[in-house]
Amino acid sequence: MSETSLSGRPLRADARRNRERIVEAARELFAECGRDAQMDDLAARAGVGVGTVYRHFPTKEAVMAELLRQRFASFADNAREALEDPDGEPFEVFAALLRRNAELMARDAATRHALTGMGQTVWGPAAGERERLLGITAELIARAQRAGAMRTDVTASDLPMLMCGLSATMGSGGAAFDWRRHLEMLLDALRAPGAPRPSA
């Protein structure tokens, strides 16, 4: 989907290059300015005319939506790697994934702005990747629960909720919140009551 035009046809080579440059420039610009980033600036940074940006993305929100979609794809890829980890205590595999994806989100202000500052419009295009992530997460959760290391009432759909909350504390919360601490508290909340905690 990231390689086809709005009409669904494969893109000409120069158009594909332009599209990639736009997305890359957008990631930088939205990270700096959030929703206030300007389309003219985006075009300039990408080295194209504004019209070209609009040829690839119908609106400004559509640009942010694509950034979000790509990020969810990375999340899902990381989840798949975690799933294929042969050994490793199931809860810790799960916890490591959350830490890894959180680090990724912490470095990507553009995605955080999309997550916290925008309505449903932005979610649509990412829905597919989101489902993929959710499916793999469900499997990781099931494993940890079978091992008796995770509370049995945790569902996969709890995770987007918690991570969305976490992203809010990373972002412009005004103060510099310690999101790593926040994440560890969440992990503690997910652990089975009696289960042994790691070192700490």
- Taking the complex as a whole, how short is the minimal distance between the CB of residue 157 and a copy of itself, in angstroms? 8
Which listed residue (31, 50, 106, 118) binds DNA by CB under 7 A?
A: 50
Closer of 115 and 136 to a copy of itself (Cβ): 115
Count of CB atoms situated within 10 Å of the CB of 138 = 14
Helices (H), 48-178: 50-56, 60-84, 90-106, 109-117, 127-146, 158-170
Nearest to 160 by CA among 79, 91, 65: 79
State yes or no: residue 55 binds DNA (CB under 7 A): yes
173 contact, one of a copy of itself, DNA, none, CB 5-8 Å limit per kind? a copy of itself
Which three-class secondary structure state does DSSP give residue 150?
A: strand
State yes or no: residue 64 binds DNA (CB under 7 A): no
State yes or no: residue 60 binds DNA (CB under 7 A): yes
Contacting DNA within 177-196 (CB under 7 A): none
Which listed residue (59, 121, 155, 157) binds DNA by CB under 7 A?
A: 59
Which listed residue (24, 40, 81, 103) binds DNA by CB under 7 A?
A: 40
Closer of 17 and 35 to a copy of itself (Cβ): 35
Which residue type occupies 14? D
Nearest to 17 by CA among 50, 56, 54, 64: 56
- Taking the complex as a whole, how short is the minimal distance between the CB of residue 2 and DNA, in angstroms? 14
- C-alpha torsion sign, points 193, 195, 198, 200: positive
Q: Which stretch binds DNA (CB under 7 A): 59-67, 104-112, 160-168, 185-193?
A: 59-67
Q: Tell me whether residue 194 is exposed, middle or buried, using C-beta atoms within 10 angstroms of its C-beta: 0 to 12, 13 to 18, 19 or more.
A: exposed
Closer of 10 and 165 to a copy of itself (Cβ): 165
Instruction: In whole angstroms, give the CA distance from residue 138 to residue 158.
Output: 10
167 contact, one of DNA, a copy of itself, none, CB 5-8 Å limit per kind? a copy of itself
148 contact, one of DNA, a copy of itself, none, CB 5-8 Å limit per kind? none
Instruction: In whole angstroms, give the CA distance from residue 98 to residue 162.
Output: 10
- Site residues, DNA (CB under 7 A): 5, 9, 11-12, 14-15, 18, 36-40, 47-52, 54-56, 58-61
